[in-house]
Chains A and B, each alone.
Chain A
Amino acid sequence: MVGCIITGHGGFAPGLKAAYEMIGGDAEDFVAVPFTNENTAEYPDELVAAIDDLLARDGEVVVFCDLMGGQPCQQAMLAQVSRPGVEVVCGANLPMLLECLMSRDGTAAELADLAQEIGRMGVAHVERLEADAAPADADAAFAGEGDGI
């Protein structure tokens, strides 16, 4: 299992973790490290401690950051320099976490690639809902086929 850390500005990390848990339930080895006005000085050490803790347990870690180039992302990339087995993903979102936290059997690099793919898929300008003129009998096509419903 690859350990996972969510980190970001303000309430982003605990907020996204709580959002994940509402849908996906509790996840093992999934830690939120917030970066706030109150812990700017201690934040680098807190992030490194969380990474090292998960590395010791799982061997590999993916750090999901809110913003490319932001302080959390920068600190994660600095920590990564001396730590093989750590991968960093920016632009973290909920669809990404939902998929990734349930697909942690491969390597950290594979998980980070998956995160990028799913995270992009989750961003969409959705089509406006239109009421169909005549409500289709959506189930008619499936009835009486003799091969399932």
Chain B
Amino acid sequence: MAEPNIVFVRIDNRLIHGQVATQWNNTVGSNLILVANDEVAKNTMRQKLMNMAAPQGVATRYFSIQKTIDVIHKAAPRQHIFIVLETPQDALRLVEGGVPIKKLNIGNMHMSEGKRQVATTVAVDDDDVAAFRKLRELGVELQIQRVPSIPPEDPEKLFR
């Protein structure tokens, strides 16, 4: 079976929003944004709101993590897929489930109780760090970059 054409994978708390829809999508040239998230897959209201933010001419899908693992290999070559995730734990589930992710962009991970700020827009706890470490061991390149127009930050910041 042909490998799915995954052009970009990003962690972003806000999933599809202006920066994702406008800047990243223009940069990576996808025609399908796949939100892989168990909560959103069941929440049609959030799906409708995100469809409003999605760029015209770009399709959207809202799959659970398991559904993504199950169907990703059915993707057609013409589908240039941009996967948006909420957490590194979800990214790890996808990779362990056989979704071919070579590089993971880390955009927005909001500060909250029990997390520490490690980069401009990235806050993590120990569980997040463990997931990132495992992802790296599995050969996934990590990249911290909020928007394409500003330079990436050192991914080692995650592990300090």
Q: B-contacting residues of A (Cβ < 8 Å)?
A: 22-26, 98, 102, 129, 131-132, 135-136, 138-139, 142-149
Q: How many residues of B contact A (CB 8 A)?
A: 32
Closest to B60 in A: A138
Query: Which of A26, A147, A149 lies in contact with B71, CB distance below 8 A?
Result: A149
Does B120 sit within 8 A of A, measured CB to CB?
no
Q: Which of A129, A136, A144, A149 contacts B79 (CB 8 A)?
A: A149
With contact pairs A23-B19, A139-B41 given, residues A148 and B62 touching in the complex (Cβ less than 8 Å): no
**A residues near B110, Cβ cutoff 8 Å:** none
Q: Across the two chains, which residue of chain B brings its CB closest to A146?
A: B74
B13 within 8 A of A: no
Contact between A136 and B76, CB atoms less than 8 A apart: no
B149 within 8 A of A: yes
Roughly how many angstroms separate A142 CA and B2 CA in the complex, as a whole number? 18
* Total of A-B residue pairs, C-beta within 8 Å: 63
- Alpha-carbon distance A131/B44, docked complex (angstroms): 7
B45 to chain A, nearest CB (A): 5
Known A22-B18, A24-B23; contact A149-B44, beta-carbon cutoff 8 A: no
Contact with A along B1-40 (1 / 0, CB 8 A): 0001000000000000011001100100000101000000
With A25-B148, A102-B26, A139-B62 known to touch, is A148 a contact of B19 (CB < 8 Å)?
no
Q: What mask results when residues 43 to 54 of chain B are scored 1 for a CB within 8 Å of chain A, else 0?
A: 111011100000
Q: Which one, B41, B75, B148, contacts A148 given CB within 8 A? A: B75
Question: Which chain B residue lies CB-closest to A132?
Answer: B44
B18 touches A129 (CB 8 A): no
**Whole-angstrom distance between the alpha carbons of A143 and B75 in the complex?**
10
B116 on the A face (CB < 8 A): no
Give CA–CA (A102, B56) in the complex, Å. Answer: 14
Which residue of the partner chain, among B4, B61, B150, contacts A139 with CB atoms under 8 Å? Answer: B61
Q: List 8 A-B contacts (CB under 8 A).
A: A23-B22, A25-B150, A138-B44, A138-B61, A144-B74, A148-B74, A148-B75, A149-B76
Given contacts A143-B74, A148-B75, A148-B78, contact A25 B147 (CB under 8 A): yes
Bound form: Cα–Cα A146–B18 in Å: 32
Contacts of B4 in A (CB 8 A): 149
B-side contacts of A143, CB under 8 Å? 67, 70-71, 74
